Structure formats: C-alpha cells, structure tokens
C-alpha cells in the first residue's frame, strides 16, 4: 500500500514539474497600430493593441543604457518629410548591451508610448515638430538569438508575433497643445 502511495506521489510531482517547463503555444495575436495626438505637433502617441483572443509578445525594438532609452527600431515612421530615423537627441554612442524591447500583451489589451519629434531625424536634420500626416508601421519578427531570452519574460522568444501592421495617418495639424 505504501509503495503505491509513493509511486502516485512521485507521478504527481513529475507531472507538476513537467507543467512548469511547458509553455502553452501562444496565439500569434492580431496586432494593430494607431497614432494619436499627444500634446501638439511636437509629439505623438503610438498605440500597439492585441485585438486577438490570446496573449502575444511584440518585438518593438531595443533597450539601451540600463533601461534608460527604449528605441522603437522595429518600427518605421513616415511623415511629410519622408521616412524618419529615430535617434534620441540625448542618446550617446552605444558601447554597451542592446536588449530586445518586447511587450507581452494579453488578449484584448494595448500598450502605448509617446514619441517626440526632437528624437527623429530626416537625413541630417533633427525635427522640431512633425509635419503633414504621420504614420507608423511594424513588421513583427521572432528573436533568433537565444542569448536574448534572459531579458524577455512571459513569452517564448521564438514565438513572438510575426506579421505586419500599419497605423492610421495622424494629421499633425489637428493636434493642439
């Protein structure tokens, strides 16, 4: 009798441990992007939304400087001037580690952040304000370097959202302080 109880306990513990190391297959999600006014023509709010039924992770870019700067390197911003390059004015030369900026979004949730015109360049010119219509697009991809996995929690890094999403066109002239 004691041997069968011990065998049953061993089986239950083994099953529990196996469950700890098994990630559920995440949904690829349904990601949409939107832009909104955020205090005048000098800034805009980027909204990343998971409209799907399951959680999904989205690679937005890179984190540098011990989490001081978040760079939306996976996003393409376009305005009246053309394609814009995100380069924060206060970002020094990068000599350290680049960590992936991954946001894990539960079903029917969103994440937003504000971008400032001063942090963008068109050619060699730094912007002081956005002009015309602003639009952003994102092509989702999985992380392939397993060394990055130590900095991402809540989602298997090889199973992040993949696909493309493009925001609405935000007419900057309509944004007032």
For 68, other C-beta atoms within 10 Å of its C-beta total 10
In the chain, the N- to C-terminal Cα span, in Å, equals: 77
How far, in Å, CA of 150 to CA of 143, rounded?
12
pLDDT, tens digit, 9 for 90 and up, residues 67-81: 778 899 999 999 988
The pLDDT-based confidence of 154 (bands split at 50, 70, 90) is low
Q: What is the pLDDT of residue 2?
A: 56
How far, in Å, CA of 23 to CA of 9, rounded?
23
- Nearest CA to 79 among 120, 47, 119? 120
**70-73 contacts at long range (C-beta below 8 A, 24 or more positions apart):** 70/101, 70/113, 71/101, 72/46, 72/101, 72/113, 72/115
pLDDT, tens digit, 9 for 90 and up, residues 96-132: 677 888 898 988 999 999 999 999 999 999 999 999 9
Categorise residue 163: left if φ over 0, alpha if ψ from -120 to 50, beta otherwise: left
DSSP string, 50-89: E-SSS-EEEEEEEEETTTTEEE-TTEEEEETTEEEEE--T
- Cβ neighbors of 54 (< 8 A, separation 6 or more) are 26, 27, 29, 107
Kindly tell me the sign of the dihedral angle through the C-alpha atoms of 167, 172, 176, 177: positive
Q: Is the pLDDT of residue 150 over 60?
A: no
Structure tokens at 50: 């998971």
Q: What is the pLDDT of residue 173?
A: 93
The pLDDT-based confidence of 153 (bands split at 50, 70, 90) is low
pLDDT, tens digit, 9 for 90 and up, residues 14-63: 333 333 333 344 445 799 999 999 989 999 999 999 998 888 889 999 88
């Amino acid at each position: 009798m004691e041997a069968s109880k011990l065998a049953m306990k061993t089986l239950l513990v083994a099953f529990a441990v196996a469950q700890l190391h098994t990630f559920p297959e995440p949904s690829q999600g349904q990601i949409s992007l939107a832009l909104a006014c955020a205090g005048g023509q000098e800034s805009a709010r980027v909204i990343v939304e998971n409209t799907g039924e399951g959680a999904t992770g989205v690679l937005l870019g890179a984190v540098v400087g011990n989490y001081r700067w978040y760079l939306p390197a996976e996003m393409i911003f376009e305005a009246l001037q053309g394609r814009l390059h995100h380069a924060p004015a206060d970002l020094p030369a990068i000599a350290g580690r680049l960590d992936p900026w991954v946001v894990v979004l539960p079903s029917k949730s969103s994440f937003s952040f504000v971008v400032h015109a001063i942090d963008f360049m068109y050619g060699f010119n730094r912007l002081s304000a956005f002009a015309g219509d602003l639009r952003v697009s994102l092509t989702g991809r999985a992380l392939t370097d397993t060394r990055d996995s130590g900095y991402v929690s809540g989602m298997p890094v090889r199973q992040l959202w993949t696909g493309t999403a493009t925001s609405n066109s935000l007419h900057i002239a309509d944004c007032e302080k």
